[in-house]
Structure 1
Amino acid sequence: MALPNIFTQPVADSVIERINKLTPQTTPDWGKMNVSQMLAHCNVSYEMVYEARKHPAPNAFMELILKLLVKNKVVTEVPYGRNGPTAPAFIIKGDKDFEVEKARLISYIRKTQELGESEFNGLMSHSFGTLTADEWNNMFYKHLNHHLTQFGV
């Protein structure tokens, strides 16, 4: 079963609509992050595409490990389970500004949708090598859906 296509405007709009239902007081149904940390956490996937210098690339050995052990969990259609392991770059500590993180995430989703599938097909990822547009879609949509569901939207 294919996941909704985050590169299409209707899907991007529906995800943004869900994000807009969040408030600084929204609490998770599971997990340790507050809503502002979750938004910052979701931004990391996009930072790795649009602000690559912010996150050092893994060395060759770590990239091999990521491709062998993590890639299929991230880029397939299989949903994430609750309270799964989180890569160090995605662990958000301390307070984050809800409005800033929300605006950043919406901006990244819009930019990704406007660039479209063709821009991502065959694009090198930060950790997993070259990905297809479907793999990028699965990675972006599945992660967003997982955390928006975590926060009840």
Structure 2
Amino acid sequence: MSTNWVNISRKLSTLKEKEFEAIKDELCGDSLLVILFGSRARGEETPLSDYDLLVIKKRRGDRVVLKWPAQIFNYTVDEVFEELSRLNTLVLDAVLEGRLLCGDEQLFEKLRREAEKIVEKQWLRKSETGWISRAVLRDGGV
């Protein structure tokens, strides 16, 4: 890898971190929860990785516009519970594998417990490629 590319990559990473901190501060000021998930939450990020955020607001109208370098997914508390029951894999990943950046820890734990119950009830398991039913694996499928 050329020295020039390494320097550009470092500068981009530094710029992303500064921009992300500003976004996080703004979101944490008026959100019930802000959860970091995806490669950055798992510690598997690359210089090109964005910041995946699940943001929970009090009301539906309190939405945030997409802001580089973050990909922001906005929900209300009721919507998160609804999406968990629908087996929305993005929401499952965020709640089960995400890191709480700010907000109500008790609410975060309540969401996590609900997601764990749903995963158990639906016989789901996380694989390298996504969520899969353990019943399918047991029966020899996939």
TM-score relative to the length of structure 1: 0.24
Whose strand fraction is larger, Structure 1's or Structure 2's? Answer: 2
TM-score relative to the length of structure 2: 0.25
